[in-house]
Structure 1
Amino acid sequence: MFSQSLAAATIFHGAHPEAVSEFVNRHIGGHHLDLIGGENRAASLSFREFAGFGLSRISYGNHVRVKTPALEDVYHFQVVTRGECRWRSGSDKLALRRGQALMVNPDEAVDLEYSPACEKIIIKVPMAVMNTVQGTDSRANVRFSRTPVDLRGCPSLTSVLDAVFAEFDEVPEGEPSEISGSYREIILKKLLKVFPSNQDEMTSGAKLPPGIHRILRFIEENVKEEIDVKELSEVSNMSTRSIYNAFSRAFSTTPKAYVKQVKLRNLREDLLQGRCRNVTEVALDYGFSHLGRFSSDYRKLFGELPSETLRLLG
């Protein structure tokens, strides 16, 4: 994934991790670097600005820990292209592997642990640029949820990024691209579509019929129970067909899939808050009797197995 991206913009290769860290502090985002496993001169970094973004490819080549304070006025789109990165913020803990991506919000301090083989693509998006996207709600800044996304399941976004990197390599540094503005708008809209955010709630919530609001409240209040569409129809006074159509328009999914997502998100919160003794107990509590299928669905949504969530908590 993005194997040759930014190859023409190499700043460091075979460097000391602290040299890369110093550049990152100046151009990408402030942080503190701790070397955990030696000081191999195997770090590399490529960087260039394009279409209002800061594009970088980073590998520290060592087992390191990176503590990042609030980013102030920028977002970070981070995708792991090799190795593993453990991500912590407050009570949330994740293990991101190849192909998995996350959005980091302004004012969100994070604690990252890179494996020696870990490599990332990071796109720095100024808040002012994010707020230019047409269709976003101007009442509040965009805030992304802490939900990793596997880009291997998002071919349209990866294709756009590949096109941007190709355009980037064709345009000499310092020379503006005639279509960079178009790329910027497309990337921003793709990020908002792929990564869950408060914009989903603001743009869809106001358009939902009253019956759907009653359904959402019912799901939250009965999240550990078995919920079928017949019950939702009775709660909302809507036909089954109307419910399916409304969920398709508002959430791009079915009522059954939506209920499963709510269950998984609440279950994960129970794991992170230590409100259960083990994975089997909490899975059965939420009605997941097929543990293998449950673990697979959990990993697709959060990028890690439920057992890994518990292990990270410890």
Structure 2
Amino acid sequence: MTALSPERDLHHYSHKADFAQNLMSVICGEHRLDTRCRDTLDFHYDGMRLPHRQMAIGTIRYGAQVIINIANLRAYSISLPLHGRQQLSMSGASFHSNDRQGLIVSNASSQDLIIHPECQKIQVVIPEKSMQMVLSDLLDQPVDQPIIFDPQMHVDSSALIAAWWKNIEQFMQLKSQYSGFYGLQMLSEDYENFVIKSLLLSQENNFSALLKQRSQQEIPAYIMKLRQFMIEHAHEMLSAEDLLRCSGVSKSKLYAEFQQYYATTPMLFLRNYRLQQIYKILSNRRLNQRYSISRLAYDWGFTHLSRFSQEYREAFGETPSETQSKFL
């Protein structure tokens, strides 16, 4: 797998297809670029990678017909032509895209994206891990299966989708003002979370029904109280008995209803919350050099380092040191 580029300002031009493929593999993940114009492209990419969720926003054009073969992207490539057209082929179906119809390429089965010579488009790239973490926050439960979107984004028939793209276009217009802004790291967290949350809530995907159900649920007060207790005391050594005592209900009632609303047990919810907080620190350039990994683990209630590393890898697909090294 190609690591996503940590570079913030991204401005590139080339005639070479190999350069375009290598650059875009670094920006949005592994893929293959096929074209007859391997030495005569008019490739331009102008964008920015935001520092918190590693989301990239930019404009791209190839200046020739290219076919992008995708099998293991590990990110979501979301695009809307400013002019020209493109077409996504997957599982025997074709999805056409122009300035009124965007596309989402999810990390699913093998797909081919055909980009026509006149196409210039806005592209938003969201790492798969970032999408899962934001969805996990929305649902208040772990997400361990791929998020698959409806590949077509209908700008004319959905006011929410139109507003989403309008927001991205406005960001692009102001991009140059943000690139040297000292507060970008602090601003980025809220903006990236907003963009990802609004996409998850407005574009149909395989978690849409669960999100709608969760928005309409009234979670019992004792469970909300317990959840808040776990968050406020997550640095402390809490036992299952402590959580049961805080809930004020029987063990069978607590476990059955907590499972109903959060699809996990209270202790696993607490463990996952702690792991997410450690990941947030290790993936934050301002914070990750202040703490050693062992110090973070102990501060967040993990007393066995080898077990902590194993659980972290199971949750995020990499070791704590691998996360930290990416954001140094």
TM-score bucket (shorter structure): 0.5 to 0.7
Letter of the aligned partner of 1:138 in structure 2?
P
Q: CA deviation at 1:198?
A: 1.7
Quote the residue 1:29 is aligned against. 29
* Identity level (%): 14
Q: What SS does the corresponding residue of 2:79 show, helix, strand or coil?
A: strand
Counterpart selection for 1:57 from 34, 56, 59: 59
* Distance in 1 between residues matched to 2:10 and 2:143, nearest whole Å: 38
The question of 1:135 aligning with 2:143 is answered no
Q: Is the 8 A contact 1:32 1:66 kept in 2?
A: yes
Give CA deviations for 1:193-216 in whole Å, capped at 9, x if unaligned.
22101221223357899xxxxxxx
Q: CA, structure 1 residues 112+130, in 2 after alignment: closer, same or farther (shift >3 Å)?
A: same
Structure 2 residue runs of 5 or longer lacking an equivalent are 1-8, 218-328
Counterpart selection for 2:189 from 181, 185, 188: 181
Q: What SS does the corresponding residue of 2:60 show, helix, strand or coil?
A: strand
Give CA deviations for 1:64-83 in whole Å, capped at 9, x if unaligned.
211122213x2222222221
Q: CA deviation at 1:36?
A: 3.8
Quote the residue 2:152 is aligned against. 148
Q: CA deviation at 1:189?
A: 1.5
* Distance in 1 between residues matched to 2:214 and 2:194, nearest whole Å: 25
* Distance in 1 between residues matched to 2:215 and 2:183, nearest whole Å: 40
Quote the residue 1:91 is aligned against. 92
Q: Is the 8 A contact 1:38 1:63 kept in 2?
A: no
Q: Is the 8 A contact 1:151 1:157 kept in 2?
A: no
Q: Is the 8 A contact 2:108 2:148 kept in 1?
A: no
* Distance in 2 between residues matched to 1:149 and 1:43, nearest whole Å: 25
Give CA deviations for 1:126-170 in whole Å, capped at 9, x if unaligned.
222213323235344452333411335433212321343345321
Letter of the aligned partner of 1:66 in structure 2?
I
Q: CA, structure 1 residues 199+164, in 2 after alignment: closer, same or farther (shift >3 Å)?
A: same
Give CA deviations for 1:230-252 in whole Å, capped at 9, x if unaligned.
xxxxxxxxxxxxxxxxxxxxxxx
What is the Cα-based RMSD across aligned positions, in Å? Answer: 2.9
Q: CA, structure 1 residues 67+147, in 2 after alignment: closer, same or farther (shift >3 Å)?
A: closer
Quote the residue 1:201 is aligned against. 209
Q: Is the 8 A contact 2:10 2:49 kept in 1?
A: no
Q: CA, structure 1 residues 109+60, in 2 after alignment: closer, same or farther (shift >3 Å)?
A: same
The question of 1:45 aligning with 2:45 is answered yes
Aligned length: 200
Q: What SS does the corresponding residue of 1:155 show, helix, strand or coil?
A: helix
RCO higher in structure (CA 8 A, sep ≥6): 1
The question of 1:164 aligning with 2:186 is answered no
Q: CA deviation at 1:37?
A: 6.1
Letter of the aligned partner of 1:43 in structure 2?
F
Structure 1 residue runs of 5 or longer lacking an equivalent are 1-7, 210-314
TM-score by length of 1: 0.55
Q: What SS does the corresponding residue of 1:128 show, helix, strand or coil?
A: helix
TM-score by length of 2: 0.53
Quote the residue 1:76 is aligned against. 77
